[in-house]
A and B are shown apart, each in its own frame.
Chain A
Amino acid sequence: MERQIINKKKRVFSLEPNKNPSAVFTRKYTSHLVPALKKLNMNKNSSKQTVKHEVDMALALSAQEFAWSRFLLQKLSSSTNPTTTTSSSDGIRILERSDKEGGNKEGEIEEKLRELQKLLPGGEEMNVEEMLSEIGNYIKCLELQTIALKSIVQDST
């Protein structure tokens, strides 16, 4: 009890807690994902890929102010079997890259930028400057997404 009082004293709230972008995103994300999962449950024909689909869909829907979310939505809606964002081939690629000796310095950087573009949904359609700023908020949203997923998984086990 005392501890709670002490904690309350130390708590600092912002004036508009609902506007905190991380909280806003997470709230939106869970509000999209959880009902979708429930619906999946109902249908009883859920496969791994469909859950992933829902996960990506929730991500795209909760971050609609960014360009990459549009591309992600397009990708999801166009394909019934959505391509996974990562695959084991990516892992192999990481190893290859570290083994390769760099030749041209400028060429290396160009290559890496291209790879980064491939990672970002829709990255290949953007130019480098745009892509770099989009990558920033994509990373942020991915982080929040993993936190949300973790706590969903956590809570249900």
Chain B
Amino acid sequence: MDLSVLDRLKWLQQQQMVSPEFLQILGSDGREELKRVESYLGNNNDELQSFRHFPEFGPDYDTTDGCISRTSSFQMEPVKNSGHSRAISLQNKRKPEGKTEKREKKKIKAEDETESSMKGKTNMSNTETSSEIQKPDYIHVRARRGEATDRHSLAERARREKISKKMKCLQDIVPGCNKVTGKAGMLDEIINYVQSLQQQVEFLSMKLSVINPELECHIDDLSAKQFQAYFTGLPEADSKQSIMADFRSFPLHQQGSIDYSVMNGTKDQTSSSWETHSQCIYNSLRTDSVTNFFSLK
């Protein structure tokens, strides 16, 4: 296919030499354009796996390499003075994979509009069109099969994918999100989790305020020592055990029987996952006592 297309291009070039009216229609820079085309092709010959060309009209179905893909490109037309009829006929590198491959860039030009305007032009016959090739700095997106190709939906799609990527990251952070599917459920989980964390903080600070007067004596003992040991995964089973016991005996704000059980469940999970989170950065090994300890609930 490549060869045939290139041959066609060369043939057209030859044709151009022959037909002066073609040149007129193109404008004075037509020849330059063709030269540019050739140089482009010469450089990137190996890269291009297929080279789409007119005389197809409208959205084309390319059957090369056994895959059908619809891209938002369109045929070539003569140059208008306004310049808005310039079009990109050269397809970018395309993998001969299935129909649902996708690229990340976005075409800024609204190609569909120009496409329809070009359909109306009947000046050129199929064989006498030439290629005007531009290489603007656009971002290119491949529309998947069956999807719209206008600018707005492409932008929407890119945005939506960014958001879903972030939701996936959040899924790893918030424990218990793996079981729920769908955005709404996950968002529910996340909201609940954040609220429960905030309530814990509030409760702890209340507790802290109650025992604050006694703090002075003990607070120097508390330290860095505890946290370091914690983070390096030493099985200080005693201290950790006390933390766990304290944790479970929280008289939580009781909002209602339903939520209480839910929160209690998630809390047990959260504490273990926090442990794993902080430990796994340091430690690939975990001692048996620790794992046993956290497995009993």
Contacts and interface: CB of A to CB of B under 8 A. Distances in A.
Interface in A66-97: 84-86, 88, 90-92, 94-95, 97
B84 interface: no
Given A12-B285, A95-B258, A151 B219 contact: no
A52 B162 CA distance: 36
A148 B208 CA distance: 12
A151 B222 contact: yes
Chain A contact surface mostly: helix
Nearest to A148: B227
Interface string B111-148: 00000000000000000000000000000000000000
B215 A109 contact: no
A30 to B, nearest CB: 7
A139 B173 contact: yes
Report the interface size class on chain A: 35 or more
B30 interface: no
Contact of B197 (A37, A109, A146, A157): A146
A128 B200 CA distance: 26
Contacts of A55: 201, 204-205, 208
A147 B208 contact: no
Contacts of B230: 147, 151
Nearest to B273: A143
A116 B186 CA distance: 12
B260 to A, nearest CB: 10
Contact of B198 (A30, A86, A95, A108): A86
A155 B198 CA distance: 21
A95 B222 contact: no
A157 B209 contact: no
Contacts of B202: 52, 84-86
A142 B201 contact: yes
A149 B221 CA distance: 15
A153 interface: yes
Contacts of B255: 88, 91-92, 94-95
Interface of A: 7, 10-14, 17, 20, 22-23, 26-27, 30, 34, 37-38, 40-41, 46-48, 50-52, 55, 84-86, 88, 90-92, 94-95, 97-98, 102, 105, 108-109, 112-113, 115-116, 119-120, 128-129, 132-133, 135-136, 138-140, 142-157
Interface of B: 159, 162-163, 166-167, 169-170, 173-174, 183-184, 187-188, 190-195, 197-202, 204-209, 211-219, 221-224, 226-228, 230-235, 239, 242-243, 246-247, 253, 255-256, 258-259, 270, 274, 277-278, 281-285, 287
Give the 7 A-B CB pairs with smallest separation, nearest first.
A91-B255, A51-B209, A149-B204, A132-B166, A112-B187, A155-B222, A142-B197
10 contacts: A22-B278, A23-B227, A23-B278, A85-B198, A112-B184, A135-B194, A142-B197, A145-B201, A156-B218, A156-B219
